[in-house]
Amino acid sequence: MGIIKVIGMIKFENVTKYYNENVGLEHATIHIEKGDFVFLVGPSGAGKSTFIKLIMKEINADEGRIVVDGQDVTRLSSREIPKLRRKIGIVFQDFRLLPKKTVYENVAFALETVHRGKRVIRTRVPAALEMVGIGDKAKKYPDELSAGEQQRVAIARAIINNPSLLIADEPTGNLDPETAKGIMDLLLEINETGTTVVMVTHARDIVDKLQKRVIAIEAGHIVRDEYGDYGYRDYGGLESPQGSIFDEKFTRKAAPAAQHVQARLDGETKQTDSTEKAEDRA
Amino acid sequence: MRIGYSIKQALIQIWRNKGMAFAATLAITAMMLILGVFFVIIVNIDLFTEMLQSNYNEVELFLKDEVTPEEAETMIGTLETYGGVREAKFRTKEEAMDIMRQRWGENSYLLDSLGENPLPNSIVLSMDSMESANNLTEKVKALEGVEDIKYYKETVEKLGRVSNALRITSIAIIAFLLIVSIIIVSNTIKLTVMARAKEIEIMKYIGGTNWFIRGPFLVEGIILGTVASAVAALVTYLIYREVIVLVGRSFMTIMGSPLVPAEYMLNNLLIIFIALGVSIGACGSIISMRKFLNR
């Protein structure tokens, strides 16, 4: 990849955001290049959501400059926000599909929203569904699909407008490890087509396995930014760390075995804690 | 805003939330029916006061016996130059007697016993308003040859006050009802907006413009408003038609003024109500979406 010119996708320069007295983000400087795959980790309430909301211009920064795909977000008028968001695809933990629309309609909806014609919809939607691996589910309603399939629909919707940036906010948070692995493979595949991917996650094993760039946020500050592991700290905070998705034996259905494997993976110190969590989930 | 897309989406929205759309339409229809009752009352009050005014904006100048018809004609010429005089007519004592006979109807034979006609010649002025009749009397009193003036001063003044009060009250009531209707529509649309809050949120994330997102809801509001107001107009018309059949005659006898015909009422109701329905629906949905789009 040495020949490819490195161009900025997301630039935060000394960005600060307060919520009344509380720190959202303080003097944050982050550069994410085009085509990168970045994990965003940190405890709940550390500022990960603030980071994403600032990129989407859901909220405005108090200080500093934010540039997304060459556009100065901090100077964008509210009329120009839709233009910015059309360059960004977003996927959530809870999928956010429309229950009264079919899979096809859910994806077509994203094209309609940006005024794409019928012909574009008719060709692109099936292609996108095929790409995420649910080409045969077009006529189903979301509640007829498994969680993993629903997340695939959400991903198809997020990438249908060919965004240059894909934000995934805990995309595997509601999925069992097996399914999560499939979703990760899909996100990597999308990343390989040149789309920058920023993924917020608490899944230690996913991060450790992929060895991508990891940005850790704590109390509104960037505390670590390097390629490698999830880190020595368990940023999962209150949320449960995922079981290892790369341990083929680990599935949600095999609950007792899962607890055992989970405990082993997390090490002695975490044992009691994660056993509780596994029970909570079960 | 894409018109075709918005209409299609609005219809789908209504169809998918039939129950809610029906409840909303019913609520708006109920509001419009109350408005319709006031509308009917107001139109009739207007007609009634107009009728009364046209009866009471007459001023009759009784002439002294020595005034000749020729002199009366010159007086008419002078009177017609005064402001507010629509028409001035000479009425002989014989004509006056005929009118009296007509008014007395079956009892007019009593007038036969009078022998010589005791009524004076007069000039009848019809004025264009009660106010100008009021202003005129002072001037006319000074004219030579005028014996007396018959003019319904107190009645006219009272009527003027009453009709003004009625007009102001009715405007206030209509304004109040309109505000209440808009609030009701905005609240009902808010329900459908909230039912689709998720959809709106996703549209905002995907990059839908505010007008694109607003479009279907605007059309939905307009459709609900129009259907509700058309139904309300028709129901008001049907009820009003029955009311006319039941009390129309008695009303005419007691009040001396007819009720406004039902067909005329329907035309007005439809035009005004549909215009109101469209604007209520549009205002309501824009108000209800404001909060959702400010993100």
Q: Tell me the ipTM for this assembly.
A: 0.73
Pairing of strands A71-72, A88-92: unpaired
3-class secondary structure per residue, chain A: CCCCCCCEEEEEEEEEEEECCEEEEEEEEEEEECCCEEEEECCCCCCHHHHHHHHHCCCCCCEEEEEECCEEHHHCCHHHHHHHHCCEEEEECCCCCCCCCCHHHHHHHHHHHCCCCHHHHHHHHHHHHHHCCCHHHCCCCHHHCCHHHHHHHHHHHHHCCCCCEEEEECCCCCCCHHHHHHHHHHHHHHHHCCCEEEEECCCHHHHHHHCCEEEEEECCEEEEEEECCCCCCCCCCCCCCCCCCCCCCCCCCCHHHHHHHHHHHHCHHHHHHHHHHHHHHC
Helical pair A147-159 and A118-131, crossing angle rounded to 10 deg? 130
Q: Tell me the mean pLDDT in the region A231-259.
A: 44
* B206–A83 CB contact, under 8 Å: no
d(C-alpha A113, C-alpha A105), whole Å: 12
Cβ contacts of B20 within 8 Å, gap of 6 or more? B188, B191, B192, B195
**Domain segments of chain B as ranges:** 3-53+158-293, 58-128
* CB burial readout A180-190, b (16+ within 10 A) else e: bbbbbebbeeb
Q: Which residues of B touch A85 (CB under 8 A)?
A: 204-207
Which of A163, A40, A149 lies closest to A95, judged by CA?
A: A149
pLDDT at residue B256 in the model: 66
B85: part of which helix (H) or strand (E)? strand B85-91
Q: Which residues of A touch B (CB under 8 A)?
A: 56, 58, 81-86, 88, 90, 96, 98, 100, 109-110, 112-115, 157, 161
pLDDT over 60 at A276, yes or no? no
Q: Are B220 and B192 in contact (CB under 8 A)?
A: yes
pLDDT at residue B133 in the model: 72
Cβ contacts of A196 within 8 Å, gap of 6 or more? A9, A10, A32, A33, A34, A35, A36, A37, A38, A164, A165, A166
Mutate to test the interface with A, among B202, B203, B213 (most CBs of A within 10 A): B202
Q: Which residues pair with A72 in a beta bridge?
A: A67
pLDDT at residue A41 in the model: 92
**Token pair for A248:** 């083929």
pLDDT over 60 at A264, yes or no? no
Which of B229, B222, B203 lies closest to B292, judged by CA?
A: B203
Which of B291, B289, B287 lies closest to B279, judged by CA?
A: B287
Residue A146 has a CB neighbour count (10 Å cut-off) of: 12
Chain B nearest C-alpha distance from A144 (Å): 19
Q: Which residues of B touch A112 (CB under 8 A)?
A: 5
Does residue B8 belong to the interface with chain A, where contact is any CB pair within 8 Å?
no
Name the residue among A58, A86, A100 with its Cβ closest to that of B207: A86
pLDDT at residue A72 in the model: 92
pLDDT at residue A59 in the model: 92
Q: Which residues pair with B61 in a beta bridge?
A: B123, B149
**Token pair for A149:** 């399939």
User: Closest-CA residue in chain A for B1?
Assistant: A115
B64-109: per-residue pLDDT in tens?
Answer: 888 888 888 888 887 787 777 778 888 888 888 888 787 777 777 7
Pairing of strands B85-91, B122-127: antiparallel
Does residue B258 belong to the interface with chain A, where contact is any CB pair within 8 Å?
no
pLDDT at residue A31 in the model: 94
Pairing of strands A165-169, A196-200: parallel
d(C-alpha B54, C-alpha B37), whole Å: 26
Q: What is the full DSSP assignment across B128-178? A: SSHHHHHHHHHHHHTSTTEEEEE--HHHHHHHHHHHHHHHHHHHHHHHHHH
pLDDT at residue B97 in the model: 84
B14-61: per-residue pLDDT in tens?
Answer: 887 788 788 888 888 888 888 888 888 878 877 777 777 666 777 888
Q: Which residues of B touch A110 (CB under 8 A)?
A: 206
Mutate to test the interface with B, among A54, A90, A113 (most CBs of B within 10 A): A113
pLDDT at residue B140 in the model: 77
DSSP B17: T
* A114–B206 CB contact, under 8 Å: yes
Does residue B16 belong to the interface with chain A, where contact is any CB pair within 8 Å?
yes
pLDDT over 70 at A67, yes or no? yes
User: Closest-CA residue in chain A for B13?
Assistant: A100
Does residue B18 belong to the interface with chain A, where contact is any CB pair within 8 Å?
no
**Token pair for B85:** 């005089």
Pairing of strands B58-63, B85-91: unpaired
B198-237: per-residue pLDDT in tens?
Answer: 888 888 898 888 888 888 888 988 998 899 999 999 999 9
**Domain segments of chain A as ranges:** 1-87+163-241, 97-162, 247-282
**Token pair for A98:** 């429309």
Q: A11-15, B238-242, B290-294 — which is least confidently predicted?
A: B290-294
pLDDT at residue B232 in the model: 92
Sign for the pseudo-dihedral over CA of B170, B176, B178, B180 = negative
CATH number (3.30.1120.80, 3.40.50.2300, 3.30.70.3040, 3.90.180.10) of B58-128 reads: 3.30.70.3040
d(C-alpha A26, C-alpha A249), whole Å: 42
∠ at Cα A250 (A247, A251), nearest 5°?
135
Q: Which residues of B touch A96 (CB under 8 A)?
A: 198, 201-202
* A98–B199 CB contact, under 8 Å: yes
Does residue B212 belong to the interface with chain A, where contact is any CB pair within 8 Å?
yes
B261-281: per-residue pLDDT in tens?
Answer: 888 888 888 898 999 989 988
pLDDT top residue among A120 and B108: A120
* B206–A98 CB contact, under 8 Å: no
Cα Rg for chain B, rounded, in angstroms?
30
B135-191: per-residue pLDDT in tens?
Answer: 777 777 777 778 777 777 677 677 778 877 877 887 788 788 788 778 877 877 777
pLDDT over 50 at A247, yes or no? no
pLDDT over 80 at A235, yes or no? no
Confidence of residue A130 (pLDDT cuts 50, 70, 90): very high
pLDDT over 50 at B128, yes or no? yes
Which of A221, A156, A164 lies closest to A198, judged by CA?
A: A164
User: Closest-CA residue in chain A for B5?
Assistant: A112
User: Closest-CA residue in chain A for B197?
Assistant: A98
- Count A/B contacts: CB-CB distance under 8 Å: 41
Q: Which residues of B touch A86 (CB under 8 A)?
A: 206-207
* B208–A56 CB contact, under 8 Å: no
d(C-alpha B160, C-alpha B137), whole Å: 17
* B212–A115 CB contact, under 8 Å: yes
* B5–A112 CB contact, under 8 Å: yes
Confidence of residue A273 (pLDDT cuts 50, 70, 90): very low
∠ at Cα A163 (A157, A166), nearest 5°?
75
* B205–A56 CB contact, under 8 Å: yes
User: Closest-CA residue in chain B for A95?
Assistant: B202
pLDDT at residue B51 in the model: 74
* A85–B198 CB contact, under 8 Å: no
Chain B nearest C-alpha distance from A166 (Å): 12
| C-alpha dist (Å) from residue B62 to A200, B1, B251, B283 | 100, 71, 34, 59
pLDDT over 90 at A62, yes or no? yes
Q: A23-37, A93-107, A240-254, B27-41 — which is least confidently predicted?
A: A240-254
pLDDT at residue A16 in the model: 94
* A84–B207 CB contact, under 8 Å: yes
User: Closest-CA residue in chain A for B214?
Assistant: A113
Q: Tell me the mean pLDDT in the region A70-98.
A: 92
Q: A100-109, A191-200, B38-47 — which is least confidently predicted?
A: B38-47
Q: Which fold has domain A1-87+163-241?
A: Rossmann fold (3.40.50)
**Token pair for A66:** 């934010």
Confidence of residue B130 (pLDDT cuts 50, 70, 90): low
Which of A161, A155, A211, A160 lies closest to A179, judged by CA?
A: A155
* B207–A96 CB contact, under 8 Å: no
User: Closest-CA residue in chain A for B201?
Assistant: A96
Express as a percent the part of chain A with pLDDT over 90.
63
d(C-alpha B159, C-alpha B53), whole Å: 8
Confidence of residue B1 (pLDDT cuts 50, 70, 90): low
Average per-residue pLDDT for chain A: 82
- For chain A, the first-to-last Cα distance in angstroms comes to 44
